[in-house]
Amino acid sequence: MTKILLTGACGQLGSELTLRLRSLLDNEKVIASDIREPQGALADGPFEYLDVLNKKDIAGVIKKHNIEQVYHLAAVLSAKAEQNIELGWKLNMEGLLNVLGLAKENSLDRLFWPSSIAVFGPDAPKQETPQNTALNPTTVYGISKVAGEHWCSYYHRRFGVDVRSLRYPGLVGYRAMPGGGTTDYAVEIHHKAISGEPFYCFLDEDAMLPMMYMDDAVEATIRLMQAPEEEVAVRTSYNVAAMSFSPSEIAAVVKKRVPAFEIIYRPDYRQAIADSWPDSIDDSPAREQWGWKHAYTLEKMVDDMLQHLPEKAG
């Protein structure tokens, strides 16, 4: 049975994917790795301290566990990368190149790497942004994702590495806090609603962005990784979409469930990042080629978040 390594496993997406893969396979088959300490359920399976900038160490872990598939998730997100552009570029690019090189050298069966809606910039259509359009990002994170997509496609074409990728929208989930993203407000809003504190939103009330609930993101990732090779025609990265909303729209849904909830808008430098990204995404190639479909709407997502967060805190 396949043995899997996840880098960045303590992150927002990594922690969810690790737990889901462990529920699908045997716990021992899914090796989590990060430079951070694993917390909670994540600590109930094999774990390796791993810095993705250290290729030798990654090679050692691949050999030690006979790894066949890697989910390379370690990354610096958009807002943090704008504040430390060298780190954003170095970690996102060198980390990916290390893993692509090792996938080739070890003839790995499959590799997953996350891209983002950040590949798009002001030149792309704002509504229903298509799979193939101008990719002129204005952020370091976006530049690293465009370059990364082309490296993935190059390794696939030149060396036959079966690397697969999704352009995630903003991800919302309750298990782990995101860190350093522009879409993170959509997670924090639920935490503040539960704690009874006012929520100071760092984006404008009408900053429309594509978003996705974590269960859908995990489902999309696993579905893409399980798809037969011939169904995966896009070897840069697939657009995937579920919903789009603005801070005022999600705040209205939260307020219906938590009437005392209060939101105050204090847009900062992250508003310019949000302004450069699409309002909504056309993901028809993913739907047509490997059967992607989402399950969560805005209302269903807010209900699930507000139900699970207190359980988690308690």
Q: Which residue among 62, 103, 117, 172 contacts ligand AKB (CB under 6 A)?
A: 117
Tokens encoding 235: 């070897």
Residue 181 in the binding site for ligand AKB (CB under 6 A)? yes
Residue 118 in the binding site for ligand AKB (CB under 6 A)? yes
Residue 116 in the binding site for ligand AKB (CB under 6 A)? yes
Q: Closer to ligand AKB at the Cβ: 12 or 69? A: 12
Residue 96 in the binding site for ligand AKB (CB under 6 A)? no
* Residues linked to residue 243 through DSSP beta bridges, in sequence order: 211
Q: Read off the DSSP letter of residue 127.
A: S
Active site residue 141: yes
Phi, psi of 257 (to 5 degrees): -90, -30
CA gap 257, 260 in Å, rounded = 9
* Segment interacting with ligand AKB (CB under 6 A) among 82-90, 114-122, 130-138, 246-254: 114-122
Binding residues with ligand AKB: total (CB under 6 A): 12
Segment (H or E) for 112: strand 110-116
Which among 49, 71, 141, 174 is annotated as catalytic? 141
Q: Which residue among 33, 69, 98, 182 contacts ligand AKB (CB under 6 A)?
A: 182
Spatial strand order in the sheet of 163-168: 47-49, 30-34, 4-7, 69-72, 110-116, 163-168, 238-239
Residue 77 in the binding site for ligand AKB (CB under 6 A)? yes
Residue 276 in the binding site for ligand AKB (CB under 6 A)? no
Burial-class residue 15 by CB neighbours within 10 Å (0-12, 13-18, 19+).
Answer: buried
Least distance from C-beta 274 to ligand AKB, angstroms?
8
Whether 204 and 271 have beta carbons less than 8 Å apart is answered as: yes
- 164: Cβ contacts below 8 Å, ≥ 6 apart: 110, 111, 112, 113, 224, 225, 227, 232, 235
Tokens encoding 92: 């996102």
Q: Which residue among 11, 170, 247, 278 contacts ligand AKB (CB under 6 A)?
A: 170
Residue 146 in the binding site for ligand AKB (CB under 6 A)? no
* Segment interacting with ligand AKB (CB under 6 A) among 46-54, 147-155, 181-189, 193-201: 181-189
- 26: Cβ contacts below 8 Å, ≥ 6 apart: 1
Residue 221 in the binding site for ligand AKB (CB under 6 A)? no
* Residue showing the smallest CB distance to ligand AKB in the complex: 181
Q: Which residue among 183, 221, 236, 280 contacts ligand AKB (CB under 6 A)?
A: 183
Tell me the residue type at 208.
M
Least distance from C-beta 314 to ligand AKB, angstroms?
27
- Quote the crossing angle between the two packed helices 185-195 and 247-257, to the nearest 10°: 20
Tokens encoding 309: 């967060």
* Segment interacting with ligand AKB (CB under 6 A) among 87-95, 111-119, 194-202, 299-307: 111-119
Positions that interact with ligand AKB (CB under 6 A): 77-78, 116-118, 141, 168, 170-171, 181-183
Which positions are annotated as active-site residues? 141
